[in-house]
């Protein structure tokens, strides 16, 4: 099997410029209004919805209530779950060094607990499933954020309920700012766009857009939607000026990988990921973003005429060694797996966000050659090596052949020791692997795409491991002792057992 075909990456060209072969259609800068929906199965003729602009609040002295709530989707009332009445939850913003005090109140009819994905906090504040609280109870979080600027997020982590609760609307942004980032003078205010992406299964029933009813194949592959919601609305659109924008994207989908590209064929400049700013900017034609990953982009709209419409879209792709009908390059669409994942399996092209140039502006921003001083661990002596094999066999999702057991400690890791962990995927499904309590450096990928991709520079907390790939990361737990999690962030896989406990000792 030609695994190397997947993503068709050709490697890194000079000066940090990554060139993907032409897989984007010819530039079509000025699509006629109404023609924007060409790639979508859904939403033809339906108006685009304004992208709600997040209003950030300080995460101190905050009560965060998880409760049922109906939200409007295309004029229908869709039952959902919301934090403080909003979907996604209220975005939180703080500066490095500030103290966070949040009371989570569970007004749901089932247990929940919140995890601060990307934050390095003590076990009592990390939202481990053993800490889940029953209905009507509260949980107090109190921690100081002492880590670099980055866009993180929060979501429930109750055992076997994460997929449903996140899908039904419980997720929100958590943005950390620091001096290093501020010194760059990046586009800000209206020119900084925050985008929480989730694919939702709407079909012809908008009232069911936040209803979670997975089939048996969904539990195996992951739950895929047919329509992309941005900040809680379908077919999002945003009016912009002809300037450079900073666009910060979270993929909060349960299972969908997006391959983002612009309809104009223009490249992105990637400046950051789940760990914050990259050491240096990189120019790319398209970017793959798996569940729980974040990317920080510069999109240059300076010079475009008023009236220009640019679609940020997810391109079609196939996964070499993947499952036929699930974005796999395996042939035989008539095989036993055909049709799994519904009409929009992994790799289906989808519209993501329409940018409409509504005003001139002309503010262009060029990033400096050096963005940050994020350190490299490569070259430091490695104290220990571990391998984690992610596998789906016979409807079981496992790591090193075991399914999650809340009371079993699978690994013990000494505080402060540099280790190399290898995440290996020998099966036919993609696994976005996430580690709690630290960030890691991606140092090598063997098999599959075979390289460390430009958006994997710097540090990360989630890395996509495709069929046939082994990814090496370097990491060290410096902050807290205690029990943390390693898991696949395909939420159906996580809930079905692709998760393990490790204890920092």
Q: Where along the sequence are the contacts to ligand C2O (CB under 6 A)?
A: 115, 117, 155, 157, 292, 434, 436, 485, 487, 489
Q: Smaller CB distance to ligand C2O: residue 155 or 397?
A: 155
Q: Closest separation between CB of residue 96 and Cu ion, Å?
A: 19
488 contacts Cu ion (rule: CB under 5 A): yes
| Residue 490 binding target from Cu ion, ligand C2O, none, CB below 5 to 8 Å by type | Cu ion
Nearest distance, CB of residue 178 and ligand C2O, angstroms: 22
- Smallest distance from Cu ion to CB 308, Å: 38
Closest residue to ligand C2O: CB criterion: 117
Question: What is the smallest separation between the CB atom of 326 and ligand C2O, expressed in angstroms?
Answer: 22
Dihedral through CA 318, CA 319, CA 324, CA 329, nearest 10? 70
Q: Which of residues 423-452 bind Cu ion (CB under 5 A)?
A: 431, 436
C-alpha span between 243 and 361 (Å, rounded): 6
104-133: contacts with Cu ion (CB under 5 A): 117
Our CB check for ligand C2O shows the closer of 115 and 449 to be: 115
Strands, DSSP E only, in 266-316?
A: 268-273, 276-284, 287-289, 294-300, 309-314
Tell me, residue by residue from 301 to 320, as one string, x for binding to Cu ion by CB under 5 A and - for no binding.
--------------------
* Nearest distance in Å: CB 491, ligand C2O: 9
Residue 241 CB partners (closer than 8 Å, separation 6+)? 190, 191, 301, 357, 358, 359, 360, 361, 363
State which H helix or E strand residue 419 sits in. strand 419-425
With vertex at residue 27, the alpha carbon angle to CA 25 and CA 33, rounded to the nearest 5 degrees, is 105
Nearer Cβ to ligand C2O, position 126 or 226?
A: 126
Nearer to ligand C2O, 289 or 311 (CB): 289
Q: Report what 292 binds from Cu ion, ligand C2O, none; CB cut-off 5-8 Å by kind.
A: ligand C2O
| Of residues 259 and 434, the one with the C-beta less far from ligand C2O | 434
Rounded CA-CA distance 481/496 in Å is: 27
Q: Tokens representing 308?
A: 């220009």
Contacts of 500 (CB under 8 A, 6+ apart): 388, 399, 400, 402, 404, 410, 411, 485, 486, 487
Query: 164, 160, 157: which is closest to 104 by C-alpha?
Result: 157
Q: In what order do the strands lie in the sheet with 441-446?
A: 396-399, 384-393, 419-425, 470-475, 441-446
Q: Which stretch binds Cu ion (CB under 5 A): 55-63, 338-346, 402-410, 485-493?
A: 485-493
Identify what 200 binds: ligand C2O, Cu ion, none; CB under 5 to 8 Å per kind: none
- Report the C-alpha gap between 141 and 123 in whole angstroms: 11
| Rounded least distance, CB 308 to ligand C2O, Å | 36
Whole-Å CA distances, 162 to 67, 152, 154, 492, 494: 15, 17, 12, 8, 8
Residue closer to Cu ion by CB (options 428, 488) is 488
Nearer of residues 476 and 487 to ligand C2O, judged by Cβ? 487
Residue among 370 and 393 whose Cβ is closer to Cu ion: 393
Closest CA to 502 of 420, 433, 386, 411: 411
Between 105 and 117, name the residue whose CB sits nearer to Cu ion. 117
Smallest Cα–Cα separation from 217: which of 205, 196, 229, 201? 201
In the complex, minimum distance from the CB of residue 147 to ligand C2O, in angstroms, rounded to a whole number: 16
| Residue 62 CB, nearest approach to Cu ion (Å) | 20
Q: Which of 272, 493, 497, 502 binds Cu ion (CB under 5 A)?
A: 493
193 vs 485 by CB, closer to ligand C2O: 485
Residue 488's binding partner, choosing from Cu ion, ligand C2O, none, with beta-carbon cut-off 5 to 8 A by kind? Cu ion
- Binding site partner of 280, from ligand C2O, Cu ion, none, Cβ cut-off 5-8 A by kind: none
Q: How far is the CB of 436 from ligand C2O (least distance, A)?
A: 6
| Start-end of H helices in 21-154 | none
- Name the minimum Å distance from CB 55 to ligand C2O: 23
Nearer to ligand C2O, 202 or 498 (CB): 498
Residue with tokens 């898991």, as numbered in its chain: 487
What 3-state class would DSSP assign to 446? strand
Q: How far is CA 265 from CA 20, 25, 286, in A?
A: 11, 7, 9
CB of 155 to ligand C2O, least distance (A): 6
Which phi and psi (to 5°) does residue 360 adopt?
A: -70, -170
In the list Cu ion, ligand C2O, none, the entry touching 155 (Cβ below 5 to 8 angstroms by class) is: ligand C2O
431 binds, among ligand C2O, Cu ion, none (CB under 5 to 8 A by kind): Cu ion
CA distance 194 to 173: 9
Residues near Cu ion (CB under 5 A) are 117, 431, 436, 488, 490, 493
């Amino acid at each position: 099997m030609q695994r190397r075909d997947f993503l068709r990456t050709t490697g890194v060209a000079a000066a940090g410029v990554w060139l993907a072969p032409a897989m984007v259609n010819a530039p079509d800068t000025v699509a006629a209004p109404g023609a924007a929906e060409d790639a979508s199965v859904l939403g033809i003729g339906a108006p685009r919805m304004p992208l709600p602009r997040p209003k950030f609040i300080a995460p101190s002295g905050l009560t965060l209530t998880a409760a049922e709530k109906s939200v409007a989707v295309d004029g229908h009332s869709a039952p959902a779950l919301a934090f403080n009445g909003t979907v996604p939850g209220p975005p939180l913003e703080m500066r490095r060094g500030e103290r966070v005090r949040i009371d989570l109140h569970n007004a749901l009819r089932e247990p929940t607990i919140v995890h601060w994905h990307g934050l390095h906090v003590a076990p009592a504040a990390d939202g481990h499933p053993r800490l889940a609280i029953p209905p009507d109870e509260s949980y107090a979080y109190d921690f100081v954020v002492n880590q670099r600027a980055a866009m993180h997020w929060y979501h429930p982590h109750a055992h076997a309920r994460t997929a449903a609760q996140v899908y039904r609307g419980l997720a929100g942004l958590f943005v950390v700012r620091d001096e290093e980032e501020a010194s760059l003078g990046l586009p800000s205010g209206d020119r900084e766009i925050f985008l929480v992406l989730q694919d939702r299964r709407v079909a012809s029933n908008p009232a069911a857009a936040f209803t979670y009813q997975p089939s048996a194949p969904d539990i195996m592959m992951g739950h895929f939607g047919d329509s992309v919601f941005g900040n809680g609305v379908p077919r999002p659109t945003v009016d912009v000026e002809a300037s450079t924008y900073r666009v910060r994207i979270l993929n909060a989908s349960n299972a969908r990988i997006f391959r983002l590209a612009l309809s104009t064929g223009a490249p992105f400049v990637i400046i950051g990921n789940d760990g914050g700013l990259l050491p240096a900017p990189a120019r790319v034609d398209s970017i793959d973003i798996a569940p729980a990953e974040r990317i920080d982009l510069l999109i240059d709209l300076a010079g475009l005429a008023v009236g220009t419409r640019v679609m940020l879209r997810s391109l079609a792709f196939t996964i070499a060694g993947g499952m036929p009908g699930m974005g796999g390059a395996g042939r035989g669409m008539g095989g036993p797996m055909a049709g799994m994942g519904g009409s929009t399996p992994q790799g289906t092209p989808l519209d993501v966000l329409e940018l409409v140039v509504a005003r001139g502006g002309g503010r262009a921003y060029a990033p400096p050659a050096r963005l940050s001083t994020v350190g490299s661990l490569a070259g430091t002596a490695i104290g220990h090596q571990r391998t984690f094999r992610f596998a789906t066999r016979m409807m079981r999702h496992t790591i090193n052949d075991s399914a999650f057991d809340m009371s079993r400690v699978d690994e013990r890791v000494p505080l402060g020791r540099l280790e190399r962990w290898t995440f290996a995927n020998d099966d036919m499904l993609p696994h976005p692997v996430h580690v709690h309590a630290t960030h890691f450096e991606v140092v090598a990928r063997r098999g599959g795409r075979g390289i460390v991709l430009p958006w994997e520079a710097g540090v990360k907390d989630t890395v996509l491991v495709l069929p046939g790939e082994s990814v090496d990361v370097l990491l060290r737990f410096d902050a807290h002792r205690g029990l943390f999690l390693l898991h696949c962030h395909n939420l159906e896989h996580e809930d079905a057992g692709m998760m393990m406990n490790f204890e920092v000792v």
